[in-house]
Chain A
Amino acid sequence: MAQVEAERGLCKENTQPLREGLAVTGLHLSHQEGSCHAAIQQQRQAFELELHMYTGDDPLDIWDRYLKWTLKTYPQGSKESSLTAMLERAVQLFAHDKKYYDDPRYINLWINLAQNSMEPLEMFSYMQDNGIGLTRADLYIAWAEEFEKHGNFQRADAIFREGLKCRAQPMDKLQQYHNGFQARVAHQAWSATEEEPEPARTSMVDLRPRGRKKAVAPVNRTEAAGHSRSLNLQLPRRSARHIQKNPILGFNENQADSLQAAQLKLEPWMAPPSSRANENQVMSEQLADIKIPQKSWCSASSVTVPASRLNFQPFVEEGDQTPSVSACKIDPAVNTVLSDRPPPSKEESVLEEGGGGGVKEQSMYLKELLLNGAVELSIEELRAEHYFARKRQEIEETIQQQSQAKERLRQQIDEKQRLLQLQQSQQRPQLSQQDDTGTDSMQITECRSGTVLPSSQPNAMAFQIFDEGSQSGSAHGSGNPIPCEKDMCPDDVFLPAGDRGLCFKTPYPFPGGSIPLSERTQLSKNFPERTESLNEEVVSGHKNKTLCSSPEDTQDFVKAAKMASSPYHAMGQRAVSPNAGILTKEPSITPQLDADSDGRKKLSPIQEASLEAWGSMASGPTSASSVCTNSGGKAVHHLGRLKDSHAEPHPEAMDQNSPCIQPVIEDPCSVRVRQRLLDQVDLSSFPNFYSEDGPLPMAEEDGVLILGNDTFATYSKMDYENFSIYAGQGGGDVAIKLERTPVPWDFYIGSQLRERLARDSQAPVHDAGRCFLFQDGCVTVHKASQQSTLREVAEESFEEIVASLAMQTVELVRLMHSCHLIHGALSPDTLVMNRHYDEPMDKISAAVALDFSCSVDLELQPEVTAAHILPAAQNFITQDLLAPSASPYQVDLLGIAETVHTLLKKRTMRLVKEDSMWTLEEYQEARPSDRSDAFWSKFFRTVLNPGDRPSVSVLTELLEDMKKSTFACYGA
């Protein structure tokens, strides 16, 4: 602090005094510019932003605060403060608004401008002539002080009197200043008299005016010499009276009036005098409408165009011509148009050089908005500010929501903990009971998704080939100067350009048979979904739409682009290449690369289209290529429909053509098939099924959803490919899944699971939730006691917890398979942990699936006899992990492997084949001594290599093994 004070001391002489005193903070800021520069800039930015964004009816308020801030922040009036520019702009901004003319804040702006200008007196005169601040004492005080600085006491006094005459408010303040002024004058006169006897005086200090201008010494000392030395300085009135007797300093009313007339009634002003002398300073655009007598004190006031004073009306652009230019390059022989100033013809107007000769103009953009602040903005900057302001607001809202959700959760946790304690006290007697009654206490019900990752995520867990070709890719990725994780899909980075590992799918058969080759290559690769945010809208809003069918539907872009994969769909051949799926440590890099370049070359061999060609295209009814694309378009259309029935995780699977199977087997997961299947089932006989008339109700985050007789509050929303899940409340916490297809397949599968499990008294009870079917969609409501998806749980857990999650997943699949149901799309994002807080630690219950949209009921769909029929299997088949003829159940085993691996390693699997057994790269050389290695190695070997054994027995055995292992933290 002492140092700061010292610093201040060093430069405080430069500090301009403020009437209300200087804020210490501001002073300190100004003295520590280096460190506080950013803070100041930020504050300034805030003011600017406020000015540009202000929509209220008193913008002057901001200016007023801005001015005060500037004065405090830049007490030395540094150039950086751009005080003058700011004042000029502010003053001009309100010049058209008479209501501000007597506003003390506006007058304050003017006074500050005047005091910071080169010619303050001119400014004051201008104000007076334009009726600005005539009723404000401040004007007269400042004005008089200015005269006083210049030593012109006579006029200063005249100004004071003028103010008093106008009854400028506050009167007593004016009077007080006037008195003070008179006292000073008297004193000066007196001291002048006193000093008179010493004509040889060397110092003029006392007489130097206080202003920054060196004015002439004001007092005619010889005239003052006659005054009595006994003037009583305590009595300003008296002294003033004395002074009045002085022929020059003296004052009498009549004389004053004439003086005023002479001095103050100048010719009318065109515009405020410029406050600056530097001609290169840009004048505000606002001034485009008025003429500023720039540099009027030194020259060229003749330039001033006589516009009406302060006329902010359209501006006459007379001088805007460049006569020297207009004469040039005109070839009279050729040109009939290029006369110097031709009447602009409609068709062929000459570029009018400069001047339009007296055409009034008005700007059709929001000039005021751009120029509102002291700094001009471009349209884009304004828009960006608006964008950022909105974004900030959104973020704040999100934070608020999250804190609310957190609070809710905390309350729940407290409650559960209380219950848990309660339960623990009763646990022992209950335990013995449970052994008798089996699994009564186990409920496979309350599945919940708190914050499930958006649908674009599933790709992340797709399988991947470990590929040495990826080294370059990863090297590039790691060499990436600015690591920006969100931009780099981890599953992309490790693959050669364009490759998505096992993400690419064997194309699904087109019902119509073959598709054009061009389409096939287009379909070959996945679109990098991570980079899209439009996905959600696509999903929720635009179903069953033809690709690019209508220009109105911009959402189609994503779909279309998805099929197009990379712009140059360079990897076109890859998907149909028989080698593509082989998992080896030495993938066929070279052929792939060749394929790349080939694909690239083959790409869009568009001839240089001449105009003629286009013309003929236009005239011909249908060109060959458009036929081609149209047929492709139809095929795509069909695909789009197929796709709708698939939520995830690999909807792309459908978009592909499988070369290895016979054509025309209907997708067992398509909406149409399911609709047909459900027609055979009397859903209304199922408990908790409600069929509602009318369309799907609107659901939104933090809204209310009324379903049947129940009302649910909805909170956070997670969007998936074909559905959304809301966290909600209504008779306890629930998860509400909204689907846009009126096919309650999820509920059907859930109900089947419940029914079939019930056949076995040993099996746990499954709750299928409640289902509300609407005309255009359906809503499934699950009780949800847990907020976390498996991915979220695993995110911050030890391997032991993951082992538990793995067991829950295995248990779920085991239960489903025992009921002849195939899940089809296991994913850490749609599985929810099912351990209640109050549940005994030693029970393993099945994870809860929030999504059955890829599920198949083999009792209802006996035609599904082999894995290749399932869309979800295509991925695995391509990798050779799964034989096309394998049991469809095996799809889920691989799904388990994929899911658990994602939970465990947070990345996709890299598989290697050893002695005809698949294993994971990281467990290839597992040390048997390491418990973790041993556990997982065995786990993955089992699920990846089920052989021909029935999946239920594989899973049962696996589960037993896992339970026995001491590794899993709550294995029995």
Chain B
Amino acid sequence: MKLNERSLAFYATCDSPADNAGFLYKRGERHTAYHRRWFVLKGNMLFYFEERESREPVGVIVLEGCTVELCDSAEEFTFAIRFGGAKSRTYVLAAESQAAMESWVKSLSRASFDYMRLVVRELEKQLEEMRWGPAGGCGGCRQLPGSWKPKSSGPERSPERLLALPTVLPKENGCAVWNNEPGADQPPDTSSCGGYDSEGNPRPPPLPPRRRASSSEAGSVGVAAAESTSIFCRLHEQYGQEVARLRQDWLERQCGPRP
């Protein structure tokens, strides 16, 4: 199978930062002798070079759909990268110390694109919930304009309220504080659903198209509400505890110091 090898080699040797680099011993495919190679991990690609100064990698291992495990081997500090599938190879590597082995196993086991994507989606979800609240997105805004109105009057309070988020949360109805639009007492229009960009803030990486589409569906409101209660509850509990503590202190001061 052809690969754009020159581009691959460029990626391996260009000055984009590596996620891990160091010498490892690699066990040969046919012969079980170990060869010392210079390994460079970038993203989900594990490149290896003959020498540290080599201008081109000898090979690359694409770290998708694999597991990284410690080896029970005569050789010290060995670990393996194992792929599923009948024809797939297992790569056996050995580090030069316990610390090096642990560092490599950790960084390799989280190197896949899939893993990165999972974490990104999770954070995206959290951020959306924090910005748009339990109504689950712009679709929710349009359908329930009432719930987006701040309790207090005047749009000029919104920026301050956002800054004062931690102390204000327990007292508010919870919906208003999530709305960071300056004209908060108007139902948000579609431009605000483009989010962040319309306020002139630094552009975030755009959300994948399918998420934008789903956020305007009526059906997503119920589902999103259930999903977002967990983060809501967590924050609510956090600040609730703080309020309880403050209240306790105040009560003690009122009653006078205990004997």
* Chain B associates with chain A: no
A residues lining the B interface (CB < 8 Å): none
